[in-house]
Structure 1
Amino acid sequence: MPLLKYKYFLLLLLVSTTLFAQVKEVNPPNYIKTINFKGNTPETQLPILKLGEYVVLEFDALNGNEDDYYYKIDHYNYDWTPSILMKSEFMDGFDNQRIRNYENSFNTYQIYSHYQLTIPNEQTKRLKVSGNYLLRVFNNNDELVFSRKFMIYEDQAAVGVSIKRARDIQFIEKKQRVEILITPNSGQLNNPTQTVKTVIVQNNNLNTAIYNLKPQYTLGNQLIYKYDSETSFWGGNEYLFFENKDVRAANTGIRAIDLQDLYHNYLFTNVERASKPYTYNPDINGNYVITILDADNPSIEADYVWVHFSLAPTEWLKNKNIHVYGNFNNYVIDDSTKLMYDERNDVFRNAILLKQGFYNYKFVVKNKNGSLDEGAISGNFYQTENNYKVIVYYRDLGARYDKIIGIGEGSSVNISN
């Protein structure tokens, strides 16, 4: 192949790879904290809203600069590759606008600016189609600060979700299985094995979602999914939790308090639960809520606190890569969540800067290949209460994008055989 043609081929390959690569969320720098992203429900992260509803993004900037931030919105296919729709096809109005609504913290040790964006707004008047979206936030220099995914659905199909125990005797005590029944509101879904795709999300965590499930069989106009291993999730265990809405007094899960430059909260030392029997302990499935005692506006009056986590070691844990895990940072695993072994006190420790509130968390092991073992420390139990969402995508013959035609939700609190 001539050199010029070879270079052109490589350039074309690079462009194609860039255009059609799956988009991933970008995590914020250290000075951006408490990213709340929600629709009409109190759940933070992974908003799934009906076409025409609003979505709200909130975050804090701890650098004290009162910087300007801008947002852009893009539309994506089912598999999070860029869709071919132009901005004008999925949006009325404009993006790349400044986030105008912000306030500075009031009566806090940690100074911060609290930003809030609501979509639709005066500039971005309407998102016109359903499907996957990515909201990106940029600084003054047009540098990407962070990004978050969200979904918009149309009410075109009823999605039934049932949670069952695994059929495989090897995992019957540890896994939960999702069964799905999709019924279109009118007519039939054409060629469903090719045009219909589903995603199952456990506890709003896209990192563990199951993709690309095809209908197992049809009954009239209904699509039925009764798989075993293909729709099974590890049951996990109920999340641990603490509350520090009153920063000056010991609350749930907190054994000691100290005031230095900021307040420090020391949690009770947790123990490994995988080898112990399951115990029901109500949680909010990994989520968190910002709250404060004796104040009217937690968004700007809640302070930041160094929360000290600790885990009692067992011999097999001492060579493991252990992290604090939860929705407080969108289930991200990095250096800030890693526990270090304190040989002098024989305990694993880590401190994370968190805004006052009620938090769920657990300890997980990161394997050498980069995968997570969520049950290594907490255990896996079929009795665990987990939330499941099923997102149904449909691209009819000749259509140009993947619309979301229905959302189903189920809980394993009433799990059956």
Structure 2
Amino acid sequence: MNQKIILFFIFFSTSFFAQNIKSIQLRPLQEDNYSAIMPLGTIFELSFDDLDADSKDYNYKIEHMTHDWQKSRLLSSQYIDGFDENAIIDVTNSFNTFQNYTHYAVQIPNKNSVITKSGNYLISVIDDYDEVVFSRKLVLYENATSVGVQVSRSRNTKNINTQQTVEFTINHPNLRINNPSQEINVVILKNENWNEKITNLQPTFFKQNQLQYTYTNKTNFWGGNEYLNFDSKFIRNKSLNVVKIEMKDIFHHYLYPYTYNENIKYKYNPDINGQFVIRTLNASIANTEADYAMMHFTLFADEPFAEKGVYVYGAFNNFEITEENRLFYNFENESYQGQILLKQGFYNYTFATVDENKNVDTNEINGSFFQTENEYNVIVYYKAFGGLYDRVVGIGTGYFNQNK
């Protein structure tokens, strides 16, 4: 797997209003569950804040996709019981906050929209001008197969200290697969970041009702490092990794600086794999009473990274590279500095470098280690010969255990 993840820059191209949308979440209604991969029929919620706070009208739209995220051949009536596009009517203004915002939320399935097929889905929010404000990926699966996943230290001697290997087995006693090379597609997804995935895999061994994928190198991922974190649950008082607070038009939180060390060694630090949780201890309803604070990031480095940009990277903005999460080098104090407006909560993040060819490297600053605890999801797509769409017939999840 290439160490550098190739992404493309997106600078406010979807909508004029996109820059004012914050705190987008697509999650099941389960505590401590941040996953957008869930069984078909699960109740999930899409929510976000509009910082214009002017109660715009937004619609949500549901589109069925192929295994490689192209629009599928299905008509909306074939995968939706009801309508594929509807108004978002759960709209609430923020209360007692310095930063005003309007909170939008919709739960699916609802009386207007019931998803009836498994597969990949693109959930989009549409504005008054029929422009897409943002989209999020959703995977709904059937339990038609069982998938066993094992994550271990890489056996490649060149990367034995920096990479992890994912092996898995698909058991399908109740699913007839005649030609796996044409009917089955699999995706290995690291920490539910669609920028870090491996595809185009064929089984290495065939058994009765079983497909085995036991590659030595082709399913290797860079281990990366544990995510950094901060907690802004107190808006007026310092909390985890917040070292200074200032009140201006809104609160400004200054985070504990991180120092770049090219000889960094692995140190265990529990994380939630880049995700974030909205929460506040200043009020009872976080959705509308949590405030926003300007979070200040500092990365000490003796000199700037030559011909590379440095960015704050995490699920808080869907692991995207934008101008908002870019840091700029300050020669006076030899550090990268930047600020991002974020809603109160617990956040994971890391630092990424981007070269002139827009290659994203999440390991250059924080290092890569085989010991890092990562979550890997194996998604199994099945499209029978003559079938119309890619079903998701199984999900397997594995975690690295350095004791193995």
How far apart are 1:41 and its partner, in Å? 4.7
1:407: which partner in 2? Answer: 395
Q: Specify the SS of the correspondent of 1:241.
A: strand
Q: Specify the SS of the correspondent of 2:288.
A: helix
Measured in 1, the distance between the counterparts of 2:175 and 2:363 equals 43
What does 1:134-145 correspond to in 2, within 5 Å?
A: 134-145=122-133
How far apart are 1:26 and its partner, in Å? 8.9
Amino acid at match of 1:287: Q
Q: Pick from 63, 82, 88 the counterpart of residue 99 of structure 1.
A: 88
Q: Specify the SS of the correspondent of 2:181.
A: helix
Q: Pick from 364, 367, 373 the counterpart of residue 355 of structure 2.
A: 367
Would you say 1:228 and 2:216 are equivalent positions? yes
How far apart are 1:315 and its partner, in Å? 3.1
Retained in 1: the 8 A contact 2:14–2:131?
Answer: no
2:68: which partner in 1? Answer: 79
* Worse overlay, 185-194 or 261-270: 185-194
Q: Specify the SS of the correspondent of 1:109.
A: coil
What does 1:13-412 correspond to in 2, within 5 Å?
A: 29-42=18-31, 47-124=36-113, 126-315=114-303, 317=305, 319-412=307-400
* Worse overlay, 40-49 or 158-167: 40-49
* Worse overlay, 77-86 or 301-310: 77-86
How far apart are 1:217 and its partner, in Å? 1.4
Retained in 1: the 8 A contact 2:118–2:139?
Answer: yes
Amino acid at match of 1:90: Y
1:311-343, CA deviations, whole angstroms, 9 ceiling, x for partnerless residues? 001336365311100111000111111110112
How far apart are 1:95 and its partner, in Å? 2.6
Measured in 2, the distance between the counterparts of 1:218 and 1:273 equals 46
Retained in 1: the 8 A contact 2:311–2:326?
Answer: yes
Measured in 1, the distance between the counterparts of 2:71 and 2:34 equals 21
Measured in 2, the distance between the counterparts of 1:26 and 1:415 equals 48
1:21: which partner in 2? Answer: none
* Worse overlay, 388-397 or 136-145: 136-145
* Worse overlay, 261-270 or 311-320: 311-320
How far apart are 1:247 and its partner, in Å? 1.1
Measured in 2, the distance between the counterparts of 1:168 and 1:28 equals 47
- TM-score, scaled to structure 1: 0.90
Amino acid at match of 2:143: D
Q: 1:219 to 1:314 in 2, by over 3 A?
A: farther
Q: Specify the SS of the correspondent of 1:89.
A: helix
How far apart are 1:29 and its partner, in Å? 1.4
Retained in 2: the 8 A contact 1:50–1:153?
Answer: yes
1:217-274, CA deviations, whole angstroms, 9 ceiling, x for partnerless residues? 1122110001122111110000111111001111110110000000000011101254
How far apart are 1:28 and its partner, in Å? 7.1
How far apart are 1:137 and its partner, in Å? 0.9
Q: 1:90 to 1:33 in 2, by over 3 A?
A: same
Q: Of the two, which has the highest radius of gyration?
A: 1
Higher normalized contact order (CA 8 Å, seq sep 6+, divided by chain length): 2
Measured in 2, the distance between the counterparts of 1:405 and 1:321 equals 40
Retained in 1: the 8 A contact 2:63–2:84?
Answer: no
Measured in 1, the distance between the counterparts of 2:130 and 2:185 equals 35
How far apart are 1:43 and its partner, in Å? 6.2
Q: Which runs of 4+ in 1 moved over 4 A?
A: 24-28, 40-46
Retained in 2: the 8 A contact 1:164–1:177?
Answer: yes
1:373-414, CA deviations, whole angstroms, 9 ceiling, x for partnerless residues? 111000000000001111000111121111000000011134
How far apart are 1:216 and its partner, in Å? 1.3
How far apart are 1:212 and its partner, in Å? 2.0
How far apart are 1:25 and its partner, in Å? 9.5
Q: Specify the SS of the correspondent of 1:230.
A: coil
Retained in 1: the 8 A contact 2:353–2:360?
Answer: yes
Q: Specify the SS of the correspondent of 2:152.
A: strand
1:83-126, CA deviations, whole angstroms, 9 ceiling, x for partnerless residues? 111111111001321100011101100000000011111111x2
Structure with bigger helix share is 1
Q: Specify the SS of the correspondent of 1:53.
A: coil
Retained in 2: the 8 A contact 1:158–1:185?
Answer: no
- TM-score, scaled to structure 2: 0.93
Unpaired segments ≥5 residues, structure 1: 1-23
Amino acid at match of 2:242: I
How far apart are 1:39 and its partner, in Å? 2.1
Retained in 1: the 8 A contact 2:275–2:347?
Answer: yes
Q: Specify the SS of the correspondent of 1:84.
A: coil
* Worse overlay, 361-370 or 315-324: 315-324
